[in-house]
């Protein structure tokens, strides 16, 4: 958490120094530098000022949950090219399967997908070319599940990230005896 908070504070200070103070609360200005945006309630000073001794653990847990949620949102935006604001708006309504597409909200969200990015993501996962209709079905299924389950960690299409996620390291070298 400290590393995330430090990067956030450094980026926040950069924005203020560049006379872009009006942008310090906009997630996009952190995303472009690959820095996790931390809402005010996750800042240590805010926690100290507002948490009571009996709920400090709950407050800190909620901070970690929010940071993880931000990573989940960032990954689906990266892997599908989906409109982040539309995704967040739909997820904030606490939808159910029965009302997911009320007012065409889900269709509108699916239409915001960048088809080239989504195709690249699913083809990398599958390891083979996929026809457009199959990509569309996979997009629908993944987005639907992501929203209804209130987000989750997406599978990385990059083998290096998969190994790191599984706690493995590949240094790319073998000893002389092949081990």
- What is the block-wise mean pLDDT of the chain (179 residues), using blocks of 10 residues? 67 79 72 72 71 70 69 89 90 88 94 95 94 96 94 82 46 44
Domain count, the chain: 2
CA dihedral 78, 135, 99, 156 (to 10 degrees): -40
In-domain check, residue 142: yes
In-domain check, residue 57: no
- On whether both 105 and 161 belong to a single domain, the answer is yes
Residues 37-55 have pLDDT tens digits of 666 766 767 777 776 777 7
Spatial contact of 52 and 130, defined as CB atoms under 8 Å apart: no
Q: In this predicted structure, what is the pLDDT of residue 126?
A: 93
- On whether both 21 and 108 belong to a single domain, the answer is no
- On whether both 75 and 162 belong to a single domain, the answer is yes
SS3 42: helix
In-domain check, residue 10: yes
Q: In terms of residue numbers, what domain contains 98?
A: 71-168
- On whether both 36 and 79 belong to a single domain, the answer is no
Q: In this predicted structure, what is the pLDDT of residue 165?
A: 46
- On whether both 163 and 77 belong to a single domain, the answer is yes
In-domain check, residue 61: no
Question: Cα(179)–Cα(150) distance, rounded to whole angstroms?
Answer: 43
CB burial readout 86-117, b (16+ within 10 A) else e: bbeebbeeebeeeebbeeebbeebbeebeeee
pTM metric for this prediction? 0.59
């Amino acid at each position: 958490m400290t590393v995330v908070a430090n990067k956030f504070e450094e980026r926040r200070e950069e924005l203020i120094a560049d006379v872009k103070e009006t942008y310090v609360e906009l997630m996009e200005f952190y995303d472009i530098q690959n820095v996790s945006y931390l809402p005010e309630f996750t800042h240590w000073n805010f926690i100290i000022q507002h948490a009571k001794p009996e709920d400090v653990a709950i407050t800190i847990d909620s901070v970690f949950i929010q940071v993880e949620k931000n990573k989940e949102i960032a990954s689906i935006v990266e892997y599908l090219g989906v409109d982040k604001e539309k995704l967040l708006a739909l997820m904030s309504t606490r939808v159910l399967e029965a009302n997911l597409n009320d007012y065409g909200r889900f269709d509108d969200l699916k239409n915001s997908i960048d088809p080239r990015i989504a195709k690249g993501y699913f083809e990398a996962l599958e390891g083979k070319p996929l026809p457009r209709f199959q990509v569309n079905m996979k997009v629908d299924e993944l987005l639907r599940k992501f929203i209804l389950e209130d987000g989750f960690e997406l599978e990385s299409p990059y083998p290096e990230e998969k190994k790191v996620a599984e706690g493995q390291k590949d240094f790319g070298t073998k000893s002389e005896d092949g081990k």
